[in-house]
Amino acid sequence: MSFGERVREKRRELGLSQQKLAELAGVSLRTINNYESGERYPNNLLTVKRMAQALGTTSDHLLDDESALLVDANARGGARAVTELQPLLAQVGALFAGGELSETDKDKVMRAISDMYWQAKENNKKYAAKKPQ
């Protein structure tokens, strides 16, 4: 279950409207809508903590491992990084659909893929042509 699905489920369980959750978490209604629809992920873990507090739960409950990686990607590289990393993680997740690896091992592989993505981004910076001033 994704971050947005967990937020929606917990919000409905508490009988909160999206507007009320937005007020409690200190974000906009549009932000809640974007989270629940899966269009956006929080910019940082502080936002996740505020959402969890507003919902009377923990950050760990709201974030599965893939969502945690995407929140980190958003914090490090913005929406573009999320857009680039999301399909990679989905493809890797599909590889494990047969259940051959333990959850711990799946997490390690997902984190390794994320680390490789960030290392490739860093390496590309070194070789990118510098713009003339």
How far apart are the C-alpha atoms of 44 and 106, rounded to whole Å?
23
Does the domain made of 3-59 have the CATH classification 3.30.420.40? Answer: no
| Confidence band of 9 (pLDDT split at 50, 70, 90) | very high
pLDDT in tens, 18-72: 999 999 999 999 999 999 998 888 888 888 899 999 999 998 888 877 778 888 8
**Model pTM score:** 0.63
Tell me the domain boundaries of the chain.
3-59, 65-126
How far apart are the C-alpha atoms of 106 and 101, rounded to whole Å?
6
